[in-house]
Amino acid sequence: MLAQSRQWDGRGGRRRRQSALARRYGHLLFVAPGFVFFIAFMVLPSLAGFAVSLTNWTGVGTDFSFVGLDNFVEALGSWPLYRAAWHNLIMFLAILVFQHTVGLFVAVQLHAKPRFMEVYRTILFLPVIISLVSTGFIWTLMLSPNIGVINALLKDLGLGFLARAWLSDPDLALATVIGVQCWNVLGWAIIIYLAGLQAIPEELLQAAEIDGATGWVRFRRVVFPLLSPSFTALTVLTFIGQFRVFDIVYVLTGPLGSPNFETDVLATLIYRSAFGGSSIASNDVRMSYAVALAVIVFVIMAIASTFLIRVLRRREISA
């Protein structure tokens, strides 16, 4: 049987030559389809976007001219940019603190393997997969001053004096937006920290215990340093998320970041500049200016996240 016809592969002795080119670069054929897509829908638009940012094009018509870096100069000298960036920064910091305290705390509780741990974990992660748009709607209604459940509940509990116009009070709006986001992103912190905690070898904790470190000391000196990778991941994730945040602000407080731009962020600012908010006259819409803003955000984010990853990774190693 084994000795049967050697022509088993149907190719017989016919052998194909393979050029050096094919051998060296053949693998690029696998990259090509993705590469084409990537170039067409990512790279070209990016470059085109950059090109547009150097003109004064409004977004409609063909009437435009090259204006060099004017848009950038104007953007960097304009107050709304800094105001929006400031709001992004506050959101980032507030949510960062929330994630690294509450999120970590809940993760530690979960790690202790209580009964129904799986159930808790499933529930607590749930908001992450619910879209920011849906989240926004749910909370818009819940926070609504007249038909919202929150104020109604407060009143019925005799805490009516706490009822507020959560999303239209200039002093509260930003905090409320942050609070809603906390609800949506807590799952990330839990799941990332939980993964980190589960990666810590049991023996290490036992060794620490033998060395006399227990409770809080053990957590701070042994466990927390070992959670560095989780800390890094979560920080970077939060950073990127918060400096890009758009959907939830758009739904909760609209493209204007109302009230009075108190919740205006970079993404809504760019959106408004490009497509106009409902109450802005259309002559204020300048596509080129919007794209220049986006380029600025891109550059800052690229620099900041590279920097952030560097610093945090270094900390991981030295920890």
Partner 1 sequence: MARVQLSGLTKAYSGSDASAVSDLSLDIADGEFLVLVGPSGCGKSTALKMIAGLEESTSGEVWIGDEMVNDHAARDRDIAMVFQSYALYPHMSVFDNIAFALQIAKRPKAEIRERVAEVARILQLENYLDRRPGSLSGGQRQRVAMGRAIIRQPAVFLMDEPLSNLDAKLRVQMRSEIARIQHRLKVTTVYVTHDQVEAMTMGDRVALMRDGVLQQVDTPERIYNRPNNTFVASFIGSPSMNLYHATLVREGSGGRVRLGDVELSVPASVYESHPALAQTNGAVILGIRSENLEDAVFVPNHPEGQQFTATVTLAESLGSDLMVHFRINAPPAKIVDQDLLDEIAVGDDFGVCVGRFNARSAAKPGDTVNIAIDCSELHFFDAENGRAF
Partner 2 sequence: MILIAASVLVLIPVAYMVLASFKTIPDFFGNPYGLPAHWAFDNYTRAWTEAHVSITLPNTIIVTFCSVAGSTLLAALIAFGLCRKERAFALTLYTFFVSGLLVPVQMIILPLFILLKWFGLFGTLAALILPYIALGLPLGVLVLTPIASSIPRDLFSAAQVDGASELQIFRRVALPLLKPGLVSVAILNGVWMWNEFFIPLIIAFTPSSQTLPVGIISFIGVYSTEWGLVFASVVISTVPIVVAYLFMTRQFQSGLTAGAIKG
> What is the DSSP secondary-structure string of 197-247?
HHHS-HHHHHHHHHTT--HHHHIIIIIHHHTHHHHHHHHHHHHHHHHH--H
Residue 86 neighbours by CB distance under 10 Å: 14
From the list 8, 30, 116, 161, which residue makes contact with partner 1 (rule: CB under 8 A)? 8
Nearer to partner 2 (CB atom), residue 138 or residue 208:
138
Site for partner 1 in 22-41 (CB under 8 A): 23
> Which positions from 213 through 272 interact with partner 2, judged by CB under 8 A?
229-230, 233-234, 236-237, 240, 244, 246-247, 250-251, 267, 270-271
Tell me the Ramachandran region of residue 260: left when phi exceeds 0, alpha when psi lies from -120 to 50, beta otherwise.
Answer: left
Query: Among residue numbers 220 through 249, which ones bind partner 1 (CB under 8 A)?
Result: none
Contact string (CB under 8 A) for partner 2, positions 18-57, x = contact: ------xxxxxxxx-xxx-xx-xxx-xxx-xxx-x-----
The answer to the question of residue 1 lying near partner 1 (CB under 8 A) is yes
Contact 187, 281 (CB under 8 A): no
Q: Among 253, 288, 262, 261, which Cα is nearest to 273's?
A: 288
- The answer to whether the CB of 269 falls within 8 A of the CB of 81 is yes
State the minimum distance, in angstroms, from the CB of residue 24 to partner 1. 9
By the rule CB under 8 A, 19 interacts with partner 1: yes
**Binds 65: which of partner 2, partner 1, none (CB < 5-8 Å by kind):** none
Angstrom distance (rounded) from CA 50 to CA 40? 15
Kindly indicate which of the ranges 13-21, 134-142, 239-247, 294-302 contains the residues binding partner 1, using the contact rule CB under 8 A.
Answer: 13-21
Cα distance between residue 271 and residue 83, in whole Å: 15
66 binds partner 2 (CB under 8 A): no
Question: Considering the complex, what minimum distance in angstroms separates the CB of residue 214 from partner 2?
Answer: 21
Contact footprint for partner 1 (CB under 8 A): 1-6, 8-11, 13, 15-20, 23
